[in-house]
Structure 1
Amino acid sequence: MMHTTLHWSNQVTLLFDSWNTKSWPTYALALLICFLVAVFYQRLEAMRLHLKSAANPSPPSLNTPLIVPKLGRNWKIRLGLAALFGLNSGIGYLIMLAIMSYNGGVLLAVVLGLTVGYFVFRSEDFSEGEDSFVAAETNNSCACS
């Protein structure tokens, strides 16, 4: 049965029909997996932003044209950034679908995982001040960007 309101039960189906919990140990394992995936999401986002800031250490100025041909420059870095972005987006959408099970425990596990992951891997992004390029990039709370 699919719930359309938030419920607090140890019986939940996550992402696939075969991934369902019927007891407290399987429910706790599912919550742990949701927590770890959310932490991993923040780790990948930190890696992507670090690679992006390393590839472009200076922020764009007002004199920088809006359309700049970039096909020949740093294609390996751009390919890596694109791959990390795609992987991170996919994980973000899977996290969103897990939350759409409307289970309160899953919601709390994901939010706690995102919070812990942000604290461990990304809270140093703001150490350089609000004017830094990385700080401007990380000021987004959406789990799917």
Structure 2
Amino acid sequence: MENMNDDHMHGMMNNKSDGGTATAMHPHKMMMHMTFFWGTDAQILFSGWPGTRTGMYVLALIVVFLLAFTAEFLSHSQLVKPGSANHVTASLVQTLLHALRVGLAYLVMLAIMSFNGGVFLAAVAGHFLGFLLFGSQVFKKPPAAVPAKTSDLPPPMSC
């Protein structure tokens, strides 16, 4: 069995899948993390973003938080009123809102796939606060008659 030393690993990192061209021409390439790590040196959603500056990393965390928060807002808000006059328009708006919510949720998932601990915590915090404000009963007036509870979680989309 071959010993996995530093030289072998360096060789693995320098090979591209398009024919083995060395990455010496691209010295800024880095290996993707496959476990959670802590630190500000991460790539989130786009190549080279947020870069190496701490301020940009904080901005990236805020963006991930807002993506998760907005996904929760869209999941639990009723932007299309029941009994709308134009059923076709209401259905199209509902479909567009659903597509937007799913797109935001996928962006949050892709950001989490950076395996950065801060990004993970920002995404969870965004979903937490969004659900607390829009999905839970904390800030809602209780109904006169409490219906039978079928689940603690609301349906995925309640437009």
TM-score (norm 1): 0.70
Equivalent residue pairs, number: 120
TM-score (norm 2): 0.65
Matches within 5 A, 1:9-48: 9-47=39-77
Say if 2:37 is the partner of 1:7. yes
- The residue aligned with 1:65 is none
How far off its partner does 1:23 sit?
2.4
Task: Quickly say closer, same or farther: Cα 1:98–1:9, change in 2 above 3 A.
Answer: same
- The residue aligned with 1:102 is 115
How far off its partner does 1:31 sit?
0.7
How far off its partner does 1:111 sit?
0.1
Say if 2:119 is the partner of 1:92. no
How far off its partner does 1:85 sit?
0.4
How far off its partner does 1:126 sit?
9.4
Which structure 1 residue ranges, 5 or more long, are not aligned?
57-72, 141-145
Runs of 4+ deviating beyond 6 Å: none
Q: 1 or 2 for the larger relative contact order (CA 8 Å, sep ≥6)?
A: 1
Task: Quickly say closer, same or farther: Cα 1:112–1:74, change in 2 above 3 A.
Answer: same
Task: Quickly say closer, same or farther: Cα 1:136–1:25, change in 2 above 3 A.
Answer: closer
* Greater Cα shift, 24-33 or 106-115: 24-33
Distance 1:74 1:136 in 2: 30
Percent of aligned pairs with the same residue? 33
Task: Quickly say closer, same or farther: Cα 1:137–1:112, change in 2 above 3 A.
Answer: closer
How far off its partner does 1:40 sit?
1.2
Distance 1:126 1:136 in 2: 17
Distance 1:55 1:139 in 2: 16
Which structure 2 residue ranges, 5 or more long, are not aligned?
1-30
Instruction: Indicate the RMSD between aligned Cα atoms, in angstroms.
Output: 2.8
Matches within 5 A, 1:63-74: 74=87
Distance 1:112 1:139 in 2: 20
Larger Cα-atom Rg: 2
- The residue aligned with 2:154 is 138
Distance 1:46 1:10 in 2: 32
